[in-house]
Structure 1
Amino acid sequence: MNLWQKGKRRMLRSVRIRSLKDTSLRLGTPVFLVLMGLVVCLLWGVWENRKLADKYIADTAKLYVDQINRDMSQINSELIYLLDSDSNIKEIPDQITSTDAQYYEMEQTLRERNRVLKIRYHEVQTFFVYGQKANVLITDSGTMFTESKGMTTLNQMLMSYLQIMTSKDSISTQWTVITFGDDDYIVGWYAKNKKVIGCVINLNLIFRTIRAKTEEYDVIPFMVDARGRVMTQADTSEKYKNEIIDFSKAGKKKKNATVYSYQLGTVGKINLMVLPGGGILENVLIMQIAFVVLIAVLLIVCALEITAYYHRILVPLEKFGQKLEELEKEQSLNDDGSNNLLELESVSGKFKELLRKIQGLKIAIYEKELAEQKAELEYTQEQIKPHFFLNCLSLIHGIADKNNEGEIVEITTVLSDYMRYIFQDSKKQRDVEEELEHIEAYIRIQKLRYGEEAFSFEATTDGDIGEWKVPSLLLQTLVENSVVHGVSLDRKSEISLYLTNETYEDGEYLYICISDTGNGFSKEALDAIENDTPIIYHGRHHVGISNIKRRLALMYGERASITCSNMDENYGAVVEVRLPKTE
């Protein structure tokens, strides 16, 4: 081997080595990029999920606060209207005690009216009517007098508050935030002529409702009134209370927390602090971080697999390829009568022997392939006709549908189903249900041909015949015989098909009876059927019944039978078939 040939072989080897490396890179790089893209998408998804969750929380809280604002506006109008027009309020005397029975009915009416208002406005804890001179408070739960004992702290403080704040008439409903004990309340009232009507809203109820509407998230609702006072839910921890106070004073909020504010009437603002962790957000974040870690592990595994692939597969494969080149060279020399085979390794000799055997099989394999291709070609040619026919039907169906030709669309659809059943792989027997469905398609085609009123068809089954199988197209041949010979345009014909189980001493049988109201079988036809001779009349050779008899004889022997008769002379053909049950 000269220097030029050695250099060429080294160049080819280096090209092949580079191509194998390139293949590894081409396979590994897209996988690596896809995994990195998944990491980026997951990180982006974390951010988008947080934004989406924040938007959901903000919208939910806003809808609820807007509802409260609408209720407060409606309450304003109702309080003014009731105080100006309700005679019961005006009848509250300047002096009244719990023993004044003449006012019981008036008190009961006001309490009931307060209950109705409380039902209408869910956020309101209580509605009340207050008589300043009599110092009497009528709520939805009862009437409180100056001398009343066992009053709740809220009612006591409310009477004290109203005694001070309602000394003068108000030109509109007044709303303010007051603290009774450990709870904060929004009180709305309207005063006129020493009479006051109003309501009390528990801020804790508003806070609980907001948290309930956003229960899947970690949120802290709080309120800042018009005077800058901060009110939180009773169970809020001191840690968060301090952070809320810092936010209300200096606008300083917790890191990564989001605060939304909503104006609540004229009393202040409802605020909602969304914490960065907890709730469904924390679960989603953990899941996505787990996915990121999993993908990172996959990246490391892929890198290790690629390295192992290169050292354990690509390198040995390159060496094996070099040996194959040498083997090919030695094979050609051996064909020339050289002795260079002695210098090959043992494995190369065995592989070469294998090559010889493979070459010896090439001709046989080639001939087998030719035979298979020929058979496949013949089969394809046999399939061309039915497929071409069905494709033509599909083409006609498409054109007719495009041109709104309903009848053509219908008949091509039915004919296509009918022909597909005909062109199915041949079976000696088929289920009765399949045959009956096929007959329905055939009847639809004949009704399109003769008209709906030309004949009627009825198929009746008795007993459980679902497991029975019949020779392929047997029922259609019987029905077709009745249609061809029994249907006339002069009068309406009736065709009936009846199937049932019959049990005899030698086993179970399927009884099939097809009848029509046509002219029936001619005497010549009945004789020909009885004697197994060709049936010829009106110059035509009829083979339907004859074919059925031959098929039944081949499949069932003497156990199957077919009988042809007429209902009356020259009227009503009847064909009866009995098939034995086979395993």
Structure 2
Amino acid sequence: MNLWQKGKRRMLRSVRIRSLKDTSLRLGTPVFLVLMGLVVCLLWGVWENRKLADKYIADTAKLYVDQINRDMSQINSELIYLLDSDSNIKEIPDQITSTDAQYYEMERTLRERNRVLKIRYHEVQTFFVYGQKANVLITDSGTMFTESKGMTTLNQMLMSYLQIMTSKDSISTQWTVITFGDDDYIVGWYAKNKKVIGCVINLNLIFRTIRAKTEEYDVIPFMVDARGRVMTQADTSEKYKNEIIDFSKAGKKKEKNATVYSYQLGTVGKINLMVLPGGGILENVLIMQIAFVVLIAVLLIVCALEITAYYHRILEPLEKFGQKLEELEKEQSLNDDGSNNLLELESVSGKFKELLRKIQGLKIAIYEKELAEQKAELEYTQEQIKPHFFLNCLSLIHGIADKNHEGEIVEITTVLSDYMRYIFQDSKKQRNVEEELEHIEAYIRIQKLRYGEEAFSFEATMDGDIGEWKVPSLLLQTLVENSVVHGVSLDRKSEISLYLTNETYEDGEYLYICISDTGNGFSKEALDAIEHDTPIIYHGRHHVGISNIKRRLALMYGERASITCSNMDENYGAVVEVRLPKTE
């Protein structure tokens, strides 16, 4: 072999080695840049998700504070209206003791009114009526006189506060923040002619509710009143109390690693929410993203080491091996056997890109889920406006009728208002038996105004201490309504009876409910439809009351609950029996 042939072969080997190096560089550089770009994207995603989590907390707290503000605004009007229109308040004498029996009925009526108001406004700890001259305090739990023993610290301090602060008539409802013992309270009151009506809201209850609504997040709620005084929960650590005090002085939105959001609460001050890093629905996504950042960083290091090993363990040995090649055909066959691994590298790159797309799809799905939840909360808040408008209209009709001395209209609007307020309460799966029976009383009153006092009689009997037992909301009303609709006739007086008691079996305690009437009873077709779970149609109408109850009981209790329909006699006296397992 002459020198020219040797030189040509050396040049071809050099070109081939340089081509392999260039190929490796062209493949390695884009992969390296993609990995670096992915690290940047994930770090940016961590930041964005943290902001999204903070926004979720802030919006949740704002919705709750807005609800309290709406309730306080409603309480403003209601306190003024009650003090001006309630004759029982005006009847509080200037001198009264616990032995004055002639005032027992007036005290009982006021306590019951306070209990109804307390049920309506969940944040309020107690409603009260106060006679300044007699120094008597009537709350939803009892009546306190000057000589009463065993009064709570709250009632004692409330009486002292009202004795001092309500000497003059109020122009409007007054709201202020007061410390009674170890707790802070918001007191709202309206005074006129030495008579006072008002309510007390426990700030700790508001703080606990905010923390419950932002569960799994590390948040510290606190309040700064109109005088700049700072109030926190009793279990707040000294470290964070100092940070909160520093924040209230500096007025900054950022305090070290914490973010603080502020919301105006009526005229009493601002509710603040200090959000600490950590926790939350999106925290797992943040941890996953950080893990991916670490993983990719490790992958970059591994790639660098692999590239170095590739050059030293593959390219250099290949170059040495190429120096020993003597024929071009042999070199070509070695290239064709896939020993350069270019196909495998492309396969790994494709799989990695697919993994990246899945990660991005997961992020988008979680983000869309959060947006959907926020949209649902907004729509629910908007829907709450409708019941308030309806109730305000009822109040307007009540006021006009009262002004014109239309007694029947005043009565039915009052009963209907209580009835609808119960219907419009926050939807709950179960309610107390006592609450359901109070609601049924309002329903029966409406039906008697419709049919007349003599059209039918209704009696509810409760055997045993079952007032606090839980039942599905509006279950008892549906049963009573079914008896009124199908059992009451203008031809004769009907009798409707509701009986409740507790029963004990081997598998636990049960609530037994029996509703009966003296109407025409169930038809044979209706009983067959109820037994076989087919549509109940008679007299040309589709009846769904019993069917809906059966479906609700099956969904909530499974096979443990039962409902039985029968007649006392053929075509006479419908009887519906329901058994529910006891729940906490």
Measured against the shorter chain, the TM-score band is: 0.5 to 0.7
Task: Kindly provide the CA deviation profile for residues 490-540 of structure 1, in whole angstroms up to 9, marking residues without a partner as x.
Answer: 999999999999999999999999999999999999999999999999999
Is residue 2:67 matched to residue 1:59?
Answer: no
Q: Secondary structure at the match of 2:97?
A: coil
Paired residues of 2:325 and 2:331 also in contact (CA < 8 A): no
Q: 1:249 to 1:509 in 2, by over 3 A?
A: closer
Residue 575 of structure 1: how far off its partner (Å): 60
Q: 1:313 to 1:408 in 2, by over 3 A?
A: farther
Q: Distance in 2 between matches of 1:405 and 1:314?
A: 103
Which residue of structure 2 aligns with residue 102 of structure 1? Answer: 102
Task: Kindly provide the CA deviation profile for residues 328-380 of structure 1, in whole angstroms up to 9, marking residues without a partner as x.
Answer: 59999999999999999999999999999999999999999999999999999
| Matched pairs, number | 583
Q: Max radius of gyration: which structure?
A: 1
**255-264 vs 308-317, greater mean Cα deviation:** 308-317
Paired residues of 1:516 and 1:573 also in contact (CA < 8 A): yes
Residue 288 of structure 1: how far off its partner (Å): 3.1
TM-score by length of 2: 0.55
Q: 1:478 to 1:188 in 2, by over 3 A?
A: closer
Which stretches of structure 1, 4 residues or more, deviate above 6 A after TM superposition? Answer: 329-583
Q: Distance in 1 between matches of 2:62 and 2:43?
A: 29
Structure 1 residue runs of 5 or longer lacking an equivalent are none
Paired residues of 1:246 and 1:252 also in contact (CA < 8 A): no
Q: 1:36 to 1:150 in 2, by over 3 A?
A: same
**369-378 vs 221-230, greater mean Cα deviation:** 369-378
Residue 134 of structure 1: how far off its partner (Å): 0.8
Paired residues of 1:169 and 1:194 also in contact (CA < 8 A): yes
Task: Kindly provide the CA deviation profile for residues 553-578 of structure 1, in whole angstroms up to 9, marking residues without a partner as x.
Answer: 99999999999999999999999999
Aligned-pair Cα RMSD in Å: 26.4
Task: Kindly provide the CA deviation profile for residues 274-307 of structure 1, in whole angstroms up to 9, marking residues without a partner as x.
Answer: 1134556765544433322221111111222222
Paired residues of 1:123 and 1:206 also in contact (CA < 8 A): yes
Q: 1:326 to 1:399 in 2, by over 3 A?
A: farther
Paired residues of 1:334 and 1:341 also in contact (CA < 8 A): no
**125-134 vs 351-360, greater mean Cα deviation:** 351-360
Task: Kindly provide the CA deviation profile for residues 408-448 of structure 1, in whole angstroms up to 9, marking residues without a partner as x.
Answer: 99999999999999999999999999999999999999999
Q: 1:17 to 1:167 in 2, by over 3 A?
A: same
Q: Secondary structure at the match of 2:329?
A: helix
Q: Distance in 2 between matches of 1:228 and 1:490?
A: 70
**359-368 vs 273-282, greater mean Cα deviation:** 359-368
Q: 1:429 to 1:346 in 2, by over 3 A?
A: closer
Q: 1:300 to 1:145 in 2, by over 3 A?
A: same
Q: 1:324 to 1:434 in 2, by over 3 A?
A: farther
Paired residues of 1:333 and 1:340 also in contact (CA < 8 A): no
**545-554 vs 65-74, greater mean Cα deviation:** 545-554
Which residue of structure 2 aligns with residue 33 of structure 1? Answer: 33
Q: Secondary structure at the match of 1:345?
A: helix
Residue 230 of structure 1: how far off its partner (Å): 0.6
TM-score by length of 1: 0.55
**331-340 vs 76-85, greater mean Cα deviation:** 331-340
**Bigger RCO of structures 1 and 2 (CA < 8 A, at least 6 apart):** 2
Residue 23 of structure 1: how far off its partner (Å): 1.5
Q: Secondary structure at the match of 1:188?
A: strand
Task: Kindly provide the CA deviation profile for residues 428-482 of structure 1, in whole angstroms up to 9, marking residues without a partner as x.
Answer: 9999999999999999999999999999999999999999999999999999999
Q: Distance in 1 between matches of 2:92 and 2:398?
A: 87
Q: Distance in 2 between matches of 1:380 and 1:264?
A: 18
Residue 10 of structure 1: how far off its partner (Å): 2.5
Residue 108 of structure 1: how far off its partner (Å): 0.9
Paired residues of 2:223 and 2:272 also in contact (CA < 8 A): yes
Residue 311 of structure 1: how far off its partner (Å): 2.7
Q: Distance in 2 between matches of 1:184 and 1:313?
A: 76
Residue 95 of structure 1: how far off its partner (Å): 0.9
Residue 162 of structure 1: how far off its partner (Å): 0.4
**206-215 vs 366-375, greater mean Cα deviation:** 366-375
**302-311 vs 214-223, greater mean Cα deviation:** 302-311
Residue 8 of structure 1: how far off its partner (Å): 2.7
Q: Distance in 2 between matches of 1:115 and 1:395?
A: 23
Q: Distance in 2 between matches of 1:375 and 1:158?
A: 41
Paired residues of 2:218 and 2:275 also in contact (CA < 8 A): yes
Paired residues of 1:244 and 1:253 also in contact (CA < 8 A): no
Paired residues of 1:507 and 1:581 also in contact (CA < 8 A): yes
Paired residues of 1:460 and 1:499 also in contact (CA < 8 A): yes
**315-324 vs 461-470, greater mean Cα deviation:** 461-470
